[in-house]
Chain A
Amino acid sequence: GQQLNQSPQSMFIQEGEDVSMNCTSSSIFNTWLWYKQDPGEGPVLLIALYKAGELTSNGRLTAQFGITRKDSFLNISASIPSDVGIYFCAGPGSGSARQLTFGSGTQLTVLP
């Protein structure tokens, strides 16, 4: 099936630092989505990307659709305590159904 490799698996950073994470696919995507999951809650959509090379921001978050169409990147600038959570990349699965496939997630911890 579709493979989405997300890294790093976990990050411990100081408040105020910038964060970068990425996701790679085994096949070409036409859509990349980034979700955040707060502790004890369901994932919430942060950013959607639809074109190779596209760069989209949502506040302190910026995501990019890689030009190879097989990768995507998420950056968080000037991290704050409420950034804690799990960040997932997602894209259309393989096969005719093409339901959303998720990466394994990046667990972010922000230290005061």
Chain B
Amino acid sequence: NAGVTQTPKFQVLKTGQSMTLQCAQDMNHNSMYWYRQDPGMGLRLIYYSASEGTTDKGEVPNGYNVSRLNKREFSLRLESAAPSQTSVYFCASSESRLPNYGYTFGSGTRLTVV
């Protein structure tokens, strides 16, 4: 069971470049999420998709866009990367839109913007 798969694992971008982070889950989960992790700040929600066909902003959405391509896949796009977007990005999924039973996380994408 792969769970939540994120690609790429590492990426270095120049300021102003664009890229898309890919995420796929094989657990037939309805809800998917993108978080970023910065030292001392825990995990902060960027965007989420409560169900296929819907997306909503989280706590820190500026500079990002998302696409829920189908039930399995949820991508995160940086249109014009900035050094402040240097972070570790985690995708997660859950069966229910309610948070009570927790989320399953991928292993992360480590992004550096120079």
Contact = CB atoms under 8 A, between A and B. Distances in A.
B99 A9 contact: no
B102 A102 contact: no
Binding site secondary structure of chain B:
mixed
Contacts, number: 68
Contacts of B105: 42-44
A99 B33 contact: yes
B101 A41 contact: no
Interface string A50-63: 10000000000000
Interface in B66-114: 90, 92, 98-108
B40 A99 contact: no
A42 B106 contact: yes
A50 B56 contact: no
Interface in A45-104: 45, 48, 50, 88, 90-93, 97-104
Interface in B15-50: 33, 35, 40-45, 48, 50
B39 to A, nearest CB: 9
Contacts of B45: 93, 99-101
Interface residues of A, number: 30
Contact count band on B: 20 to 34
A92 B97 CA distance: 11
Interface of B: 4, 33, 35, 40-45, 48, 50, 56, 58-59, 90, 92, 98-108
6 contacts: A42-B105, A90-B99, A92-B100, A100-B33, A102-B43, A103-B42
